[in-house]
Every structure is written in structure tokens, then in C-alpha cells.
């Protein structure tokens, strides 16, 4: 899968970067470990904190990493409910974050709270988030709920809502205002860009520790209820020619069409125009913030069905849906990535979405996914794609759950499949992020009616089988009653692999059919972020039938031979 997808990538460039990463890692390893420990152990007042490197996203050979303290970092996220980022509710957030073992919390910043009056900015709540995030030893991703939140303008400050002439809504094809701001509302854009720049300036001044890793610009920007804005301002742009910069980006190898939106995009003209319009707007807000404080910025997407998309109306129009990612890239270069909010629990759709958003020009990040148990295993699928982070939505104990989209209630039991993942991966997050960036990590998730999966590795074929006991031959796996199995395998050295998983049996066979596999040594151990420390050797029942993983977080270092 991933290996074959990447086969055409430039190996020399990759090796050079891997070498550079390794050299830099050695150079910074001590400092990095020291700073990571410091961050986790002792919250320091922002004024006294030493200034750390800015987080940033890097690309090599089509793979990506989020660098934190100059080394690849994996966001094991938890996103809180929409109305949970208040001083009064935070005490109900942290117990859930702790229960799930997240290392990063995604949390909103509300425009209506930050700018209660046109000339007044109030960042006291942001200060609270930073302070409490540090106290709880987590990083933050801030979500800028501003012009758009799920396609609407509900987070605009009240002084804007009462002036629709200055801050207009989009207009539908019948000339009626709809519940979505116009991307051609000049004063709204100016106000949003100014407020966002002020937020980023505040972070620059108060977050020398880099508690905040990334900022999401708007939330599911776009429009429900109309394919595009038909206001006079939008209409006059629509009747003009398609901008050359968009055409050039869509046709890098030429020839380049020209003409009106209808001429160039036919039936897709309205949707493509709206994507361009919304992305230009979000890109302008992002650029204003990035000019002040250049940490990674992204926009999230309300998805369309990746297998049977239908037409806009079935899905939100104008956001970074899979069909217009290239439009967003051209229109909003200040965004580092566009990210899918995945609420489709069936594996064909989920895996297809990961495929669509993992692109050489787009780091994969899953900023929201369902919190029902069926979603937990997809962390592993995201890791197989080299994701920089993954986050279930609605993780707090405020009493709200977005059922039926999510589970009937949020409690420790609901969160436990995610907690299991994070208890396993959390202690080795740095190692996993590095291995993924180096192209050495593979992972699989169980799919309905596929009780066995093969993973092609250097010299070996690994198999993950589901629904077997922990003892006895494995020729006829039945699959688990629910598809909850997951496994990850990373190449540590020639014939040596890190193996971990849940509810599965993993085994290896040499590629050479005349040879058989022998376990030279199977060590179970612990990670402390980057290094493996063996604690015991598995043998006898623990290896005679393959490597069996149930519900305990266990990490193995497996050395293989043949006979
Ligand atoms: C996706 C949005 O981005 C979230 O803020 C939230 O509204 C969920 N949908 C639904 O709970």
C-alpha cells in the first residue's frame, strides 16, 4: 500500500533528509529530551520560559512530519465539545483528557468572546487555556471559530450580527439571505483578519514555550443551503474570467484553458467558484495571522461521501472537500494543510478519505473523528499514511454528546478504546513519528469480512490475523465479532521490527518461499518517547503460535532469522 504508493519518490532526496534528520536528532536529542521532560514536568510562567523553536511542518519524499522542538511529533489528540473552552467548564475537560491519555488538546477560541466590542480584544481566556494546558502537560491546537463555524457565522461578535449591511450573509439563487456569511463581505474579512492577527500576536508574545502547535483557521468553512453566493458582489466576480493563478495551478503541465467559470468548469462552475471564493477568504485570514506568528495553520473539511459524492447540497459547498483540494492549495498558500473531519465509520469510506487527504502536497491530519468505539482502530490506519495527528471529537465530561453522530454518552468506558491506543503509542510517540517520517512504519486495521491482512516488508511478509485465540494454529481466522483489530510494524534495523497491536495475531514469513521464519529474539519492553527498553523475552506459548495481542498495550522488538 503505502510502500508501493511511494515507490516513485526520490530515494536520494529521502536519504539525504533522513540523514539530516538523524544528524540533527543526535545533535538535539539531549536538549530535546530535556525540554520535553521539562514541559511535562514543570509548568513555567510564560515570561520566564526559554524560547523554543517554532513548530513547523516539513516534507520529504512525499511524507510529512510536524516538528516540535525540531523533532517529529505525533499529535495524539482530543477535541473538546464546541462550548467547553470556558473557565467554568475546563475542570470537566481535563479529567477526560487524562482518561484518554491525549498529548494534545484541540480547543476553540471564540471570536465573539475575543472581540466583544469593535475596539476591544480580550485574550484572558486564551491565557487560561495556555496556563491550564501547561499545567496538564499537553500541547494545544487552537480552533479559530470566527467567520465560519460549520458553514454559518454564529460565532461572529454580536456587534457584527446586528449590522448585516456591513457584514452581509451569502445570497441564494432565489435572492434570499442564507445562514452563511458571504465570502465577498469585505468588512467581515478585514475584521476577521485583524482579530486573527491579534490572536496570533498574543500567542507570539505569550507562548515562547510553544504550547500551541497549530491553529485551525475557521471551522468547516463553506456553505450549506446554496452551492454558492449569488450576491451582486459574488455574481460580478463569477461573470469574470477564471483567475490565471488558479488555472496555472490546476494545469501545471499545460495547456491552460481560459474563459469564464462556466466555460472552464461547466457543471462544476458554481461549486469550484465557491471553493475558490471561500478559500481566498480563509487564506487571507491565515496570511494575516501567519505574517505575525508563523506556526502551522490549517483548515478542516466537512466531507463529501468519498465513494458516492453526489452534488453539493448533499455536502457542504465551498470547503476543502476532496474534489477541490487543489483549488484550496492555489487559493490559500498560507495554510499548511487541509484536513478531513471523518464521521464515516465504515472502513471503505474511512480508508478512502485517508487516501484522498494524504498527498505529497498535503500532510495528513485527522483533526476530528467520531468518538464511538468503531473509530478507535483508525488511528492505526492514519499512522500507516504517516499522519501527523489524530483526534476523536467531543472529549470532555460536560454532559454533552453529539449522539446519534457519536455515542449516547461520554464517559471513561466510551473513551477506553481510544485510551488503549494512546496508552500504547503515547510512550513511543516520538519514535513512531520519526519512523513514519522515514517511511519505515506500516499499520493495518481490521475490516469486516477480511480476517487476515498481509503487509509487505523488506525481505518479509507480515500477516495480521483477527479472531484467533492466543493458542493453536492460525489457518482459519474468523475475524473479531466487531472489527476492532489493529497492528503496527516498524522496521528498526535489517530483520528487526517493532510490533504492537490489539486483538490480533501477527506473524512473519520470509519472502523466499524455501525458507521458514525463526524468532531469534522477541523482547517486550517500554518506550520513553524515543528509546526502547527491554523488560522480558517472549518465548514458549507467547511465540509458538505467532505474536498474539489482546487488550493490553504491549510493544515488542522482534529479531527474525530463517532456517
Ligand atoms: C464537525 C464540527 O467541526 C464540530 O465542531 C462539531 O460541530 C461536529 N461536526 C458535530 O458534533
Quote the CA–CA distance of 492 and 441 in Å, as a whole number. Answer: 9
CB 371 within 8 A of CB 394: yes
With a cut of 80, say whether residue 278 has pLDDT above it. Answer: yes
**113 CB under 6 A from ligand 1?**
no
pLDDT of the residue at 47: 53
Give the distance (Å) from ligand 1 centre to CA of residue 461.
Answer: 40
Confidence check: pLDDT of 22 > 60: no
Asked if residue 402 has its Cβ within 6 Å of ligand 1, the reply is: yes
Tell how far the Cα of 150 is from the centroid of ligand 1, in angstroms. 7
Choosing from 142, 368, 406 the residue with most ligand 1 atoms within 8 A of its CB, the one to mutate for a pocket test is 368
- Ligand 1 atom nearest residue 300's Cα: 3
Residue 25 has pLDDT above 60, yes or no: no
Q: Kindly report, residue by residue over 120-149, the tens digit of the pLDDT.
A: 999 999 999 999 999 999 999 999 999 999
Q: If you average pLDDT over residues 304-309, what whole number do you get?
A: 98
- Quote the ligand 1 centre to 89 CA distance (angstroms): 18
Closest CA to 302 of 211, 389, 369: 369
Q: How far is the CA of 182 from the centre of ligand 1 (A)?
A: 21
User: Is the CB of 341 within 6 Å of ligand 1?
Assistant: yes
For atom 9 of ligand 1, which residue has the closest CA? 150
- Would you state the cell numbers that stand for residue 434, as one nine-digit string? 520519526
> Ligand 1 center to residue 546 CA distance, Å?
42
Q: Is the separation of the CB atoms in 104 and 140 below 8 Å?
A: yes
Around 136, how many Cα atoms within 13 Å sit in the side-chain half-sphere? Answer: 25
Contact at 8 Å (CB) between 148 and 182? Answer: no
- Determine the distance separating the centroid of ligand 1 and the alpha carbon of 222, expressed in angstroms: 13
- In terms of pLDDT, which residue wins out, 358 or 254? 358
Name the residue of 83, 107, 150 whose CB sits within 8 Å of the most ligand 1 atoms, as the mutation to test its pocket: 150
Q: How far is CA 522 from CA 503, 530, 536, in A?
A: 19, 19, 9
Residues 184-210 pLDDT 10s: 999 999 999 999 999 999 999 999 999
pLDDT > 60? residue 18: no
Kindly give the distance from the C-alpha atom of residue 75 to the centroid of ligand 1, in angstroms, as a whole number.
19
Residue 35 has pLDDT above 70, yes or no: no
How far is the centre of ligand 1, averaged over its atoms, from the C-alpha of 56 (Å)?
A: 26
pLDDT at 5: 41
Distance CA 155, CA 220 (A): 13
Percent share of the chain, pLDDT over 90: 90
Pocket mutation for ligand 1, best pick of 78, 81, 82, 304 (most atoms within 8 Å of C-beta): 82
Q: Looking at residue 254, what is its pLDDT? A: 84
For residue 50, the model assigns a pLDDT of 81
| Ligand 1 centroid from CA 165, angstroms | 28
Containing H/E element for 500?
strand 496-502
Is 82 near ligand 1, meaning CB less than 6 Å away?
A: yes
180 lines ligand 1 (CB under 6 A): no
Atom of ligand 1 nearest to the CA of 219: 3
pLDDT on residue 221: 98
pLDDT of residue 289: 98
pLDDT digit string, tens, across residues 493-513: 999 999 999 999 999 999 999
Going from the Cα of 223 to the center of ligand 1, the distance in angstroms, rounded, reads: 14
Mean pLDDT of 427-440: 98
**Going from the N-terminus, what domains does the chain have, and what CATH number goes with each?**
33-41+81-352 (3.20.20.80), 442-562 (2.60.220.20)
Alpha carbon of 146 to ligand 1 centroid (Å): 14
- For atom 11 of ligand 1, the residue with the nearest CA is 402
CA distance 100 to 412: 8
Q: Which distant-in-sequence residues (6+ apart) come within 8 Å of 58 by Cβ?
A: 64, 65, 67
Ligand 1 atom closest to residue 394's alpha carbon, by position in its atom list = 11
Q: What is the pLDDT averaged over residues 236-246?
A: 97
Cell matching residue 309 = 459524492
For residue 520, pLDDT over 60 is answered with yes
pTM above 0.95, yes or no: no
Q: Which three cell numbers stand for residue 487?
A: 497492528
Q: What share of the chain in percent tops pLDDT 70?
A: 91
Q: How confident is the model at residue 48 (pLDDT cuts 50, 70, 90)?
A: low
Question: Residue 182 has what pLDDT?
Answer: 98
Write down the mean pLDDT value for the chain.
92
Measured by CA distance, the residue closest to atom 2 of ligand 1 is 150
Rounded average pLDDT over 361-390: 98
What the block records as the C-alpha cell of 322 is: 476532496
Quickly tell me which residue has 496508552 as its cell: 423
Q: Report the DSSP pairing between strands 532-537 and 452-457.
A: unpaired
At 393-418, the pLDDT tens digits run: 999 999 999 999 999 999 999 999 99
> How far apart are the C-alpha atoms of 150 and 108, rounded to whole Å?
13
Q: Which set of grid coordinates corresponds to residue 422? A: 494512546
User: What confidence tens digit (pLDDT) does each residue in 151-173 have?
Assistant: 999 999 999 999 999 999 999 99
CA of 478 to the centre of ligand 1 (A): 36
**Mean of the pLDDT values across residues 74-86?**
98
In the predicted structure, residue 117 carries a pLDDT above the cut 90: yes
> Contact 169/180 with Cβ under 8 angstroms?
yes
368 CB less than 6 Å from ligand 1? yes
Q: For 30, what's the count of Cα atoms within 13 Å in the CB-facing half-sphere?
A: 1
Amino acid at each position: 500500500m503505502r510502500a508501493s504508493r511511494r515507490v516513485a519518490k526520490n530515494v536520494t532526496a529521502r536519504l539525504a533528509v533522513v540523514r539530516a534528520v538523524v544528524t540533527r536528532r543526535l545533535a538535539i536529542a539531549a536538549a530535546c529530551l530535556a525540554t520535553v521532560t521539562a514541559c511535562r514536568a514543570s509548568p513555567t510562567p510564560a515570561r520566564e520560559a526559554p524560547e523554543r523553536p517554532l513548530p513547523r511542518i516539513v516534507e520529504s519524499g512525499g511524507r510529512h512530519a510536524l516538528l516540535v522542538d525540531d523533532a517529529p511529533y505525533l499529535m495524539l489528540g482530543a477535541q473538546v465539545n464546541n462550548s467547553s473552552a470556558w473557565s467554568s467548564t475546563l475542570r470537566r475537560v481535563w479529567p477526560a483528557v487524562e482518561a484518554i491519555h491525549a498529548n494534545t488538546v484541540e480547543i476553540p477560541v471564540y471570536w465573539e468572546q475575543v472581540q466583544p466590542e469593535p475596539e476591544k480584544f480580550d485574550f484572558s481566556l486564551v491565557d487560561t487555556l495556555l496556563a491550564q494546558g501547561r499545567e496538564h502537560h499537553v500541547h494545544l491546537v487552537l480552533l479559530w471559530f470566527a467567520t465560519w463555524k460549520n458553514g454559518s457565522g454564529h460565532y461572529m461578535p454580536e456587534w457584527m450580527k446586528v449590522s448585516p449591511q456591513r457584514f452581509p450573509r451569502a445570497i441564494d439563487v432565489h435572492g434570499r439571505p442564507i445562514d452563511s456569511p458571504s465570502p465577498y463581505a469585505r468588512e467581515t474579512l478585514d475584521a476577521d483578519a485583524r482579530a486573527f492577527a491579534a490572536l496570533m500576536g498574543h500567542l507570539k508574545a505569550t507562548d515562547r514555550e510553544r504550547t500551541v502547535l497549530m491553529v485551525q483557521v475557521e471551522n468547516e468553512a463553506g456553505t450549506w443551503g446554496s452551492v454558492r453566493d449569488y450576491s451582486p458582489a459574488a455574481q460580478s466576480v463569477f461573470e469574470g474570467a477564471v483567475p490565471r493563478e488558479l488555472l496555472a495551478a490546476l494545469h501545471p503541465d499545460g495547456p491552460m484553458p481560459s474563459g469564464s467559470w462556466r466555460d472552464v468548469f461547466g457543471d462544476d462552475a458554481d461549486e469550484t467558484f465557491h471553493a475558490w471564493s471561500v478559500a481566498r477568504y480563509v487564506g487571507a485570514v491565515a496570511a494575516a495571522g501567519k505574517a505575525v506568528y508563523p506556526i502551522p495553520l490549517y483548515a478542516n473539511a466537512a466531507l463529501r461521501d468519498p465513494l458516492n459524492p453526489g452534488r453539493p447540497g448533499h455536502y457542504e459547498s465551498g470547503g476543502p472537500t476532496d474534489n477541490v483540494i487543489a483549488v484550496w492549495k492555489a487559493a490559500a498558500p498560507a495554510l499548511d494543510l487541509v484536513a478531513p473531519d471523518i464521521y464515516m465509520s465504515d472502513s471503505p469510506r474511512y480508508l478512502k478519505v485517508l487516501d484522498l487527504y494524504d498527498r505529497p502536497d498535503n500532510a495528513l491530519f485527522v483533526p476530528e473523528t467520531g468518538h464511538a468505539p468503531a473509530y478507535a482502530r483508525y488511528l492505526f490506519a492514519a499512522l500507516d499514511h504517516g499522519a501527523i495527528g489524530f483526534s476523536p471529537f467531543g472529549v470532555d465530561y460536560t454532559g454533552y454528546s453529539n449522539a446519534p453522530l457519536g455515542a449516547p454518552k461520554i464517559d471513561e468506558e466510551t473513551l477506553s478504546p481510544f485510551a488503549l491506543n494512546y496508552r500504547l503509542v503515547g510512550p513511543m510517540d516520538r519514535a513512531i513519528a520519526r519512523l513514519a517520517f522515514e517511511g519505515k512504519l506500516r499499520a493495518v486495521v481490521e475490516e469486516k469480512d477480511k480476517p487476515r491482512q498481509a503487509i509487505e516488508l523488506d525481505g518479509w511478509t507480515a500477516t495480521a490475523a483477527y479472531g484467533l485465540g492466543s493458542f493453536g494454529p492460525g489457518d482459519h481466522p474468523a475475524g473479531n465479532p466487531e472489527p476492532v483489530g489493529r497492528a503496527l510494524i516498524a522496521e528498526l534495523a535489517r530483520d528487526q521490527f517493532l510490533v504492537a497491536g490489539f486483538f490480533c495475531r501477527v506473524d512473519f514469513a520470509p519472502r523466499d518461499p524455501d525458507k521458514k521464519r525463526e524468532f531469534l529474539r522477541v523482547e517486550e519492553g517500554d518506550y520513553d518517547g524515543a528509546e526502547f527498553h527491554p523488560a522480558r523475552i517472549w518465548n514458549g506459548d507467547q511465540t509458538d503460535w505467532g505474536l498474539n495481542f489482546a487488550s493490553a498495550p504491549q510493544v515488542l522488538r522482534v529479531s527474525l532469522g530463517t532456517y
